[in-house]
Chain A
Amino acid sequence: MVGTRACLKRGGGLPPWSVLQGYDPDGFYDEMFASPGQPRRHYGRFQQLFDPIDPADFEQRRNDADLSFLRQGVTFNVYGDSQGTERIFPFDLVPRIIPNSEWEYLERGLIQRITALNLFLHDLYHEQKILKDGVIPPYYVLSARHFRREFVNYQVPRDIYIHICGTDLIRGADGQWMVLEDNGRTPSGVSYVMENRQALKRTFPTMFEEIGVRPVDHYPQELLKTLKHVSPAKVIDPTVVLLTPGPYNSAYFEHTYLARQMGIQIVEGRDLIVRDNRVYMRTTKGNQPVHVIYRRVDDDFLDPTVFRRDSALGVPGLISAYRAGNVSLANSLGTGVADDKVMYYFVPRMIKYYLDQDPIIPNVPTYLASEEKDRKYMLENLDKLVVKAANESGGYGMLMGPRASAEEREKFRGLIEQDPRNYIGQPMISLSTHPTHVGDGMFEGRHVDLRPFILYGEKTVIVPGGLTRVALRKGSLVVNSSQGGGSKDTWVLFGDE
């Protein structure tokens, strides 16, 4: 069902732009081609430079890129694999290109959204005006799994809850951008943004200068600024650390990468100790104070004296030190409530309520199973809808209605009826496609999304672009790395062509 193959060919007599000749978007919105043989304006220069590369040369460069990822250990761990297998996150050499004016639109939309989300979290953990004014039914918030009622009225530094957000954007059949979900807990993937750029610079060294691509490598500096911005009051030169669950976490590579780039220590729970409500790290020269923790550990695992008692990843006493205001956490505690897919439904209302604006980037139309009308519609249309559990991520806990077996659909019918609060439905969106190498110098359309990373500190910073994830399996709409996804470098141009 996805595009006709296009083949890398080089030889006399072929017209220019032969590389992707024959590539057919096949009815999908394709990022590169408006119609067969007609590249969009912002891909024009890229194609001129890409075209002269012959298949053997391309294959060589692709191998080099893969090898270099493997050698550098740019890998993720696969869960449920007893061998502890590490895989490279498959990387496709054809970049995804976004013209500057379009990026500016996305930037405005993302800033609007993160601002509203932070205002919402502040409100939710203080006066709860949005609930009292009836804009969001209180039931949904109070039943949200990641709502931390014990932190109501707790003052987070500078009122920032989500410091780092990874928002997933998609484009449907008409090319309209939409927000698919907000990841306001511990979003990952940003290291691939930088590593992919490095890899592509090595692969196509001359293209960057000629095309004019906005750089992404200032992300670690911006992240460090964002983290230092929330250091506890009175600390002049804060010590920032990155708290990782450890080497067996699937994103461990990213943790070490970011720590190294920021020049901060990466610590595990057992490296930290709390005394008199202050956090220290254990070093060869004794205990040293810590002021800001960029934690890549979920709320539940942070402190075994408060949350899961069986957590060996956390630091006993950490939450008490956090409450005392002696250490800051990024992201703050309790942001998971904004990740809840039911809360997602209400984000446009939040934007309206707090900012008195209409959402710049729309949501995907969503049905809430606990609303009777919606539930009825969902149950009647399970074969047309995508059903998602409210608190799962990584592509787990999901039903792709049109592609599921009758048995799977029945299973979800039961789940929805049992626990409607925990399910939402969305129409199946045919994600936009992008020419992607599928082997032997052949290119086909594969579905893509985009995850920009938003830093909310003294000012809001978004490195141009983000992580383009691509579903490498033919026809698949699931882009998650755990489910056979790969990634592309994302180029935001200085101009529009």
Chain B
Amino acid sequence: MLSRVANSLYWMARYIERADNAARIVDVNLQLLLESRRLDAQQIAAYWAPVVESTGDEEAFKERHNQATGANVTDFLIFDLENGNSLLSSVNQARENARMVRDQVPAEMWEELNRLYLFVKSDHARELWADNPFAFLQQIRSAALTLVGIGYASTPHNEGWNFYQAGKFLERADKTTRMLDIRHATLPRRGMPGAVSQVDALGWSAVLRSCSAWDAYKAIHGSEVHPKFVSEYLLLSDEFPRSLKFCVEHVDASLRNISGVASRRFSNDAEKLSGRLLGELQFSTIEEVFEIGLHDYLDLIQVKLNLIGEALFRAYIFQPFVNLEDEILVQQEFQQQQ
């Protein structure tokens, strides 16, 4: 497979996942706000600030807005084209990457992605957002789920698919850690948190909802929402498809499918780092996580995920590209030797 194509499939998957997560986070927090009464501007700003923080684009937001309000945060996360990670930007990028490799993307997937693109940039989408934001967000999430479904149901699970999967699960792993980080201000810096207030419990349940984990969580822990259990579920669950461990397992498996190298061995840095992170997660407990402190732990994880992404790029994609000027020199030198 062409390196350039692998690169585009990888980013297409990441951006679809990113768009989906932007929709999730806005959706859940809007819903949660409906349940809280009479917040003043200060309280509203305090409510939205960590949401912006969790996306990692806090500085870009502050450059444009003095204080967080519901309107400016949601606009920043959904429609702002200057925010490269907004929903609209992400859909544009996903579609642009798909367009670059149009021949490698199954027709159904391309059509669905193109449909999503035409929808989000339409006037109709803006009207729907103003009118009924939940219906708007539902459309986005349905499209994202349809894309996942098309991938599983009608895409050959070949090399390109593995690059796509690697991108998707790396992005999802990163987003899960970011959603989990939203409530870190309510936790002690280190050590296990004690009992939580009702308001905090509501906040933690929003975290679960953002990850579509609410029902699954309840099935295990009932309605008791505690940061320890929430973190354990979203980080270390073997079975939940958005947990960090689950995602890293899939990243690792995709990388090994690409190279054909067995687990417990590695042929490049990406496999080395993903295998190492997976081992760490397999042999960790949530108590150890809280000893380090949830926020610091999540920061470390995010760095490791980034390193895996960079290593993958170096192993398969970056290495073959060369500078045009240098290449012209190489050719001219060669032609002189004949």
Q: Which residues of A contact B (CB under 8 A)?
A: 70-73, 246-247, 252-253, 256-257, 259-260, 265-268, 270-271, 273-274, 276-277, 281-285, 287, 304-305, 309, 312, 316-317, 320
Contact = CB atoms under 8 A, between A and B. Distances in A.
A317 B115 contact: no
Given A271-B2, A273-B322, A273-B327, A73 B159 contact: no
A268 B321 CA distance: 12
A492 B222 CA distance: 70
Contacts of A312: 324
Contacts of B100: 246-247
B322 A73 contact: no
B245 to A, nearest CB: 27
Given A71-B115, A305-B332, A267 B2 contact: yes
B283 interface: no
A268 B317 CA distance: 15
A462 B27 CA distance: 56
B111 A256 contact: no
15 contacts: A73-B111, A247-B96, A253-B102, A270-B324, A271-B2, A271-B4, A273-B322, A277-B334, A282-B3, A283-B1, A284-B3, A284-B317, A316-B327, A316-B331, A317-B331
Contacts of B159: 284
Given A73-B99, A253-B102, A284 B6 contact: yes
B114 A72 contact: yes
Given A282-B3, A283-B2, A70 B118 contact: yes
Contact of B334 (A73, A283, A317): A317
Interface of B: 1-4, 6, 96, 99-100, 102-103, 107, 110-111, 114-115, 118, 159, 163, 258, 316-317, 320-322, 324, 327-328, 330-332, 334-335
Given A73-B110, A305-B332, A256 B2 contact: no
B324 A304 contact: yes
Given A271-B3, A283-B1, A72 B328 contact: no
Given A72-B114, A284-B159, A316 B324 contact: yes
Given A305-B332, A317-B331, 12 more contacts: A73-B110, A252-B99, A253-B102, A259-B103, A271-B3, A273-B320, A277-B334, A284-B1, A287-B320, A305-B328, A305-B331, A305-B335
A305 B327 CA distance: 9
A73 B36 CA distance: 44
B99 A270 contact: no
Given A71-B111, A273-B327, A260 B103 contact: yes
A320 B331 contact: yes
Contacts of A267: 2
A441 B114 CA distance: 29
A73 B110 CA distance: 8
A73 B114 CA distance: 7
Contacts of A277: 334
Contacts of A317: 327, 330-331, 334-335
A268 B324 contact: no
Contacts of B334: 276-277, 317, 320
A311 to B, nearest CB: 9
Contacts of A283: 1-3, 320
A248 to B, nearest CB: 10
A331 B163 CA distance: 34
A281 B2 CA distance: 7
A265 B4 CA distance: 12
Given A270-B321, A271-B3, A274-B331, A284 B111 contact: no
In this complex, which of B111, B258, B320 has the most chain A Cβ atoms within 10 angstroms of its Cβ? B320
A255 B317 CA distance: 23
Give the 9 A-B residue pairs with the shortest CB-CB distance, closest first. Answer: A282-B320, A256-B102, A317-B331, A260-B103, A256-B103, A316-B331, A284-B316, A316-B327, A259-B103
Nearest to B113: A73
A194 B26 CA distance: 43
Contacts of B322: 273
A374 B202 CA distance: 87
A247 B4 CA distance: 13
Which of A72, A259, A265, A305 has most B Cβ within 10 Å? A305
Nearest to B332: A305
B330 A316 contact: yes
Given A273-B320, A316-B327, A320-B335, A282 B110 contact: no
Contacts of B317: 284
A233 B227 CA distance: 70
A412 to B, nearest CB: 39
Contacts of B324: 270, 304, 312, 316
